[in-house]
């Protein structure tokens, strides 16, 4: 990966970066991801939009949402924006690290841009369950069903797990 990235006129795709970051993060090599991102940030690139996008996604995957938010702010300063995938990776990182205010702001950005999808719903339920707002999570899921959206499983499993953790087994069974 590193060797290929240093070859003249060769550029990794964003999917390649994301895959490598995920592999390293799962292998508990997040410091290696952060080291790579810091070196990547110091280089000069002509593709500034892709550059910032990779930084935001990389820092989010590495569990450093504060750094991801800083990269996102620099990106926005240059008039650039994230795509749906990057917004959702960032939103997931914010939930994992309990960045509640930033979660609400990014969630509003996702809705304003029309990027809300199934993954958004999963992350919202996860967020509500982590905050122990179980009635809100249940209401959110009921609202999805009333709108005719099909629940696919992950969003329900977060709620069932949270209900079981709070010893509300009968409610979880329902």
HSE value, Cβ hemisphere, 13 Å, CA-based, for 160: 8
Tokens, residue 24: 């390293």
Tokens of 82: 């994230």
- Neighbouring C-beta atoms of residue 98, cutoff 10 Å: 12
Q: Quick one: pLDDT band at residue 22, thresholds 50, 70, 90? A: confident
Instruction: Categorize the per-residue pLDDT at 44 as very low, low, confident or very high, splitting at 50, 70 and 90.
Output: low
pLDDT tier at 1 (50, 70, 90 boundaries)?
confident
Q: Which two tokens mark 65?
A: 């949402």
H helices of the chain, in order, are 2-5, 14-26, 30-42, 48-61, 65-77, 84-96, 100-112, 118-130, 134-146, 154-165, 169-173
Q: What local confidence, expressed as pLDDT, does residue 140 receive? A: 95
CB of 171 closer than 8 Å to CB of 163? yes
Nearest to 82 by CA among 66, 106, 64, 99: 106
Render pLDDT for 99-158 as a digit per residue (tens, 0 to 9): 988 999 999 999 999 999 999 999 999 999 999 999 999 999 999 999 988 888 888 999
- Token pair of 160 as six digits: 């069932």
Residue among 95, 19, 26 at smallest CA distance from 57: 19
Lowest model confidence (mean pLDDT) among 39-53, 85-99, 138-152: 39-53
The answer to whether residues 70 and 60 touch, using CB atoms and an 8 Å cutoff, is no
């Amino acid at each position: 990966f590193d060797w290929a990235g240093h070859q003249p006129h060769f550029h990794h795709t964003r999917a390649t970066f994301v895959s490598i970051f995920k592999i390293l993060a799962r292998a508990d090599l997040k410091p290696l991801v952060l080291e790579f991102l810091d070196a990547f940030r110091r280089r000069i690139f002509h593709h500034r939009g892709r550059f910032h996008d990779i930084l935001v996604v990389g820092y989010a995957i590495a569990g450093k949402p504060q750094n991801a938010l800083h990269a996102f702010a620099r990106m926005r300063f240059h008039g650039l924006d994230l795509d749906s995938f990057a917004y959702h990776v960032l939103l997931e990182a914010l939930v994992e690290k309990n960045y509640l205010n930033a979660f609400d702001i990014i969630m509003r950005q996702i809705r304003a841009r029309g990027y809300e999808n199934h993954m958004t719903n999963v992350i919202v339920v996860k967020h509500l369950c982590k905050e122990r707002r179980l009635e809100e999570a249940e209401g959110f899921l009921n609202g999805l069903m009333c709108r005719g959206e099909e629940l696919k499983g992950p969003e329900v499993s977060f709620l069932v797990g949270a209900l079981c953790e709070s010893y509300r087994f009968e409610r979880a069974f329902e």
